[in-house]
A and B are shown apart, each in its own frame.
Chain A
Amino acid sequence: MRNKYRIAILLFMHICVFWSCKKDTPKISKKVNVLFTTTGLGDLSFSDNLYKGILKARNDFDFEVEYAFPANLQEASTTLKNWIDHLSSKDELIILLGHEYRLSIDSLQGNFNNKKILLIDAKANDFPNLFSIEFSFYGAAFLAGIAAKQITLNDTAGIIAGMPLPPIETGIAGFSDGYLHANGKHTDVQYIGNDFSAFQDIDKAAALAGIMFKKTNLIFGMASNANQGIFDVLRRTDYGYALGVDQDQSWVCPDKIMGSVVKQIDIVASNYVRSFVNGDFHSGYQMAGLESNYMGFLINTFFAEKLQTIMQKNFDDALMAEKKYLEKKKKR
């Protein structure tokens, strides 16, 4: 009886030991590395949205995060190489934000050292463990064009864009087509510059807006942070209206910005991190348009009454127009 008692104690102790040691047994943990644009956090745009997406995902899942805020592309390249080369027992995802990182990824020729890569806002060559996502502005901008027609006085709408880039040109096409679809007559396009600095050139945007507001009372700003220049003119002159881009910019001028064409990068990031943590990460490419819910036209609540019904009525038209546009572009 005594021996049985001892054996019982022994079994109990074994269970304790097993439990105690098991608790420390490392499981394969997940790590997400995030390489921001060279603008970094505080841009009130892509980077901030990506950060919000990571924070949201982190509320739901347990994973480690490392952020990098490169000062320039060279530093970004070094950081990326270090992350790729680093030997790790963890399952790692590297998120790169921005068109400028496409070449860095392509140059690796798929040698990702078992790391998974998510490239946001650019299309990369196909490789295993790499997913890239681009955004089509067309459909959302098409809706913005329809919204613009509701306010313009002389059948002309203005567009101030950062620099000539494929996504920007897609947005311009969508806006112009939407405006014409709603019986507008003419869109006037002005570029701020020819390089990426144009997206930060608030003064130039303001100067262009000052001239453009003499021809039209509405400007669609496709210049990211430089849109602040357009909004500054709006506030000062007490004349005209505008549409924003990338994120909800209506707070800057709540009674004059009708809405914004938004890229929901926070949702993209949150969804793909969730897939990664759940082991569902897959390779591939997506062109995300209006249908994906990652792009949309966000109506400023101040204009909701005026625009809500019109937007709903035209949503399918915008979807269709975007589909046609993308197919046509693909054939080219």
Chain B
Amino acid sequence: MRRIVEIVIIFVCLGFWTCRRDDDQKDPAFGKVYKIAIILPLSGSDKSAWTNVTDWVTKNIEDAGYVANGKIQLVWFDLNKNDVVEIAKIICKDTTICAAVGPYSSSESFKIAPLFIEAQKPLILPTSTSADISAAFSGKKYIWRLPESDISQCQALLVIAKNKGAKKVALITGDDPYGLTFYNWFGFQATEMDLEVTAVEKYDQSVEQPDMYMDKILAGNPDMIIAVARSLNQAVAMVKYWRNRNSDAKILFSDGAYIQGFIDELGDLAEGIEGTAFTSNPATGFNIAYKEKYNTNPTLGMSQLYDAILLLAYSLELSGGKSGLALATGLMELSDGEQSPTFWDKDGIKRALERLRSGQRPKILGASGPLKFAAGCYTDNINSTYLQWQVYKRQFLNLNYYRSDATGRISNLAAAWQSYSNKTQSFENIIQNNLPARHELWAMIVATSQGWSNYRHQADALRIYHLLKSQGIDDQHIIFCMADDIANNSRNPNKNIIVDAITSENLYHDFTLDYKIQDISNQDLMNILSGNSSSRLQQVIRSDENDNILVYMIGHGESNGMVVQSNTKQYLVPSQLKNTLSEMYTNKKYRQILICIEACYSGIFQDSEGVPSSLIITAANRFESSKTVVYDPEVEVWLSDQFTNEWLKLMLRNKNISFSEMYLNLCKSVYGSHVCIYNASNYGSVYENSIEEFLIP
């Protein structure tokens, strides 16, 4: 009997154990723990707002079962108490943390992104909107962000302006990182939308008032002013000045004005003013559910924070709990999902995890909207939502929503920063010049800027120089001018090295520098070009009517001309160039001359048109900036400018390409600006003439 009882007890215990084992499988406490760092301002009132969301999403994930046989654990890092770079270093070193979410601002994100790329840990940015982030880190696999850059907001503003019947638009903005995104993209997007740009004004909003700039804006009689204010004070000052002028122009603000203080400060003056603000997609129901749960409306970034953690949970499931490249690959797989979409709530997460385990790849609908990132290079979510607000009876009314998923604007395939021009020039009334056979080839290469932050200008100038030298042009025929303050700059960790953006090779070797930009003026440049030598300008172009001349200038441009950063800031203006070209033509100083200008607003050199046998190619039109490309996190500078980089790649592939073909190729490869060709009708055939005549002696 005793034995029987003991056997029964053993069986009972076995039965009990069997039942418990099922529980073990469901309870993630018995599995692995996946740590995700949260880098946000977490002290004081900030904390509860964020923790509402993180508690909610982690609870929903837990209720849904488990993730890769484990559970998610959040590790908190308070931005109010610690330096963001120090936090990033700790996270990157900690092998138990597989990924991070945060930080709050674009500048903080920009600082720490390289650390995460190096450590191969995904960093998901819930609120950073600076355009630079995608341009610098896109395609690096480890940097992801849920809102699109303010390029999309700029586009939303222009869509609204156009919907309201505006034909002429102007921009007033700051020169801070926030304002610069609008500054850099406004002209391009307006051109794409067939809107006439009457003025683009930027100023230092930390010290200046908008009055003078608003005067310039209003002088152009725009139908709509797009106003970008970095602070409440600036927004208020803009409105007051605009109201005082009683202009017919309407005004449309970016999200910088979408704060209650805007209404409180302005009172009745704010009535009727409209603008945009970044928000979550109302089609997800997150705002409704949040209000139902917490009895208050969610604030900026909450749905994105929810989604950041959700994405990492799904990605961990796909990677089998592995971190590093496997986790980043999981994120990419999620973004590429094409099967019927998931939902972001508890049950939706459960079904999504089951589907992912069974090999399905659904589209992921997050709390902020569809979580679809730019094809191929990822980084930027391509589904942002902006609300159109209006001040009415001292409150913000939400009038409409604009989505960046093709319902409101642009492409649904790529992020906004990868927008290429759809507006191309046609070349008509081409004349056939009876030119003599070409004899010699001359070149003038000028980087007009100075300083470490302008690294790319001198690097690109050196690239052009070496290309010409490699084709056989000797130093006697090249006038080379730059500041030469990069290779041995105190901030350069690799002394005597300037890096080629494509090959990564050193460009700082075997060159003859004729002038330092610090030592010459804008007029000196024209004298050098036209061959007016002097005791101070001994190296000049000594060409004649049988010679071709290539002029390449790179630097900063403003709406009145190209900045020549000599000892004083000077401008090379279109009339100056035109006069020089006319004089050269009259004096038979060239057979054909090609002038390539890489600078913001370089399209103003359209005003230099009219001189026979000259062709002007610019990186941008007169209302837009040219764009940087290839960011090097080690030296913390951009290595090249977009137009030059693509132009060089094209010339290395095919030197025999006609100007018209070259132009069309550049239009397809240069994003964010309109490459322009001017004076084609006076030049000769852009269909027959090729770039080769300016490359090979």
A235 touches B401 (CB 8 A): no
- Interchain CB contact under 8 A, B351 and A66: yes
B288 touches A6 (CB 8 A): no
Q: How far is the CB of B24 from chain A (nearest CB, A)?
A: 12
Main secondary structure of the interface of B (DSSP, over half): helix
Whether A9 touches B9, Cβ cut-off 8 Å, given contacts A3-B2, A235-B390, A253-B392, is yes
Alpha-carbon distance A10/B6, docked complex (angstroms) = 9
For the complex, what is the distance from the CA of A278 to the CA of B341, rounded to whole Å? 30
Q: Does A228 contact B (CB under 8 A)?
A: yes
> Which residues on A sit within 8 Å (CB–CB) of B8?
10
Q: Are A10 and B9 in contact (CB under 8 A)?
A: yes
Query: A13 on the interface (CB 8 Å rule)?
Result: yes
**B288 engages A10 (CB within 8 Å):** no
By CB atoms of chain A within 10 A, which of B6, B282, B341 has the most?
B282
Report how far A3 CA is from B282 CA in the complex, Å. 69
CA distance A251 to B398 in the complex (A): 10
A308 CA / B418 CA spacing, docked (Å): 57
Contacts of A24 in B (CB 8 A): 19, 22-23
Q: Which residues on the B side are within 8 Å of A59 (C-beta)?
A: 292
Interface size of A as a range? 35 or more
B647 at the interface (CB under 8 A from A): no
Let me know if B397 is at the binding interface, CB within 8 A.
yes
Known A-B contacts A40-B283, A65-B345, A251-B397; A17 and B15 likewise in contact (beta carbons under 8 Å): yes
- Could you tell me if B19 and A42 are in contact, using CB atoms closer than 8 angstroms? no
Evaluate contact between A52 and B292: CB separation under 8 angstroms: yes
> Which of B9, B16, B22, B285 lies at the interface centre, i.e. has the most chain A CB atoms within 10 A of its CB?
B285
B454 to chain A, nearest CB (A): 46
Contacting residues, chain B, for A228 (C-beta < 8 A):
399-400
The reply to whether A42 and B20 form a contact with Cβ atoms under 8 Å apart is no
With most chain B CB atoms within 10 A of its CB, the pick from A3, A41, A59, A255 is: A41
In the complex, the answer to whether B5 meets A55 with C-beta atoms within 8 Å is no
Partner of A10, one of B5, B22, B351, B397: B5
Cα A48 to Cα B288 in complex, Å, equals: 8
Point out the residues of chain B lying under 8 angstroms from A67, CB to CB: 343, 348
Tell me whether A42 and B23 are in contact (CB under 8 A).
no
**A24-B22, A251-B397 known; A55+B289 contact, CB < 8 A:** yes
Contact A20 B19 (CB under 8 A): yes
The digit string for A1-35, where 1 denotes a CB below 8 A from any CB of B, is 00100110110011011001100100000000000
Given contacts A13-B16, A20-B19, A65-B345, A7 and B5 within 8 Å (CB-CB): yes
Shortest CB-to-CB span from A56 to chain B, Å, is: 7
Please indicate the chain B residues that have their CB under 8 angstroms from the CB of A17 in the complex: 12, 15-16, 19
Is B288 within 8 A of A55, CB to CB?
Answer: yes
Contact with A along B377-411 (1 / 0, CB 8 A): 00000000000001011010101110000000000
Residues of chain B from 1 to 54 with CB closer than 8 A to chain A in the complex = 1-2, 5-6, 8-9, 12-13, 15-16, 19-20, 22-23
Nearest opposing residue in chain B for A6, CB measure: B5
CB-based nearest B residue for A63 = B347
A16–B16 touching, CB < 8 Å: yes
Chain B residues closer than 8 Å to A13, beta-carbon distance? 9, 12-13, 16
B386, chain A: closest CB distance, angstroms: 13
A41–B393 CB distance below 8 A: no
Bound CA span A64–B281, Å: 24
Query: Does B533 sit at the interface, judged by CB under 8 A?
Result: no
B319 CB-CB contact with A under 8 Å: no
Which residue in B1, B19, B292, B343 is a CB contact (below 8 Å) of A55?
B292
Is residue A51 within 8 Å, beta carbon to beta carbon, of the partner chain? yes
Closest partner residue, chain A, to B397 (CB atom): A252
Please give, as numbers and ranges, the residues of chain A lying within 8 Å of B15 by CB-CB distance: 17, 21
A69 CB within 8 Å of chain B: yes
A10-B9, A42-B281, A228-B399 given; name 14 further pairs at CB < 8 Å: A6-B6, A7-B5, A13-B12, A21-B15, A24-B23, A42-B284, A48-B288, A51-B288, A65-B347, A66-B347, A66-B351, A67-B343, A252-B397, A254-B395
Q: List 28 A-B contacts (CB under 8 A).
A: A3-B2, A3-B5, A6-B2, A6-B9, A10-B8, A13-B13, A17-B15, A17-B19, A24-B22, A40-B283, A42-B281, A42-B284, A52-B288, A52-B292, A55-B289, A56-B292, A59-B292, A64-B347, A66-B351, A67-B348, A69-B341, A228-B399, A228-B400, A232-B399, A235-B390, A235-B392, A253-B397, A254-B393
* A interface, CB within 8 angstroms of B: 3, 6-7, 9-10, 13-14, 16-17, 20-21, 24, 40-42, 44, 48, 51-52, 55-56, 59, 64-67, 69, 228, 232, 235, 251-255
- Which 3 interchain pairs have the tightest Cβ spacing? A42-B282, A42-B283, A20-B19
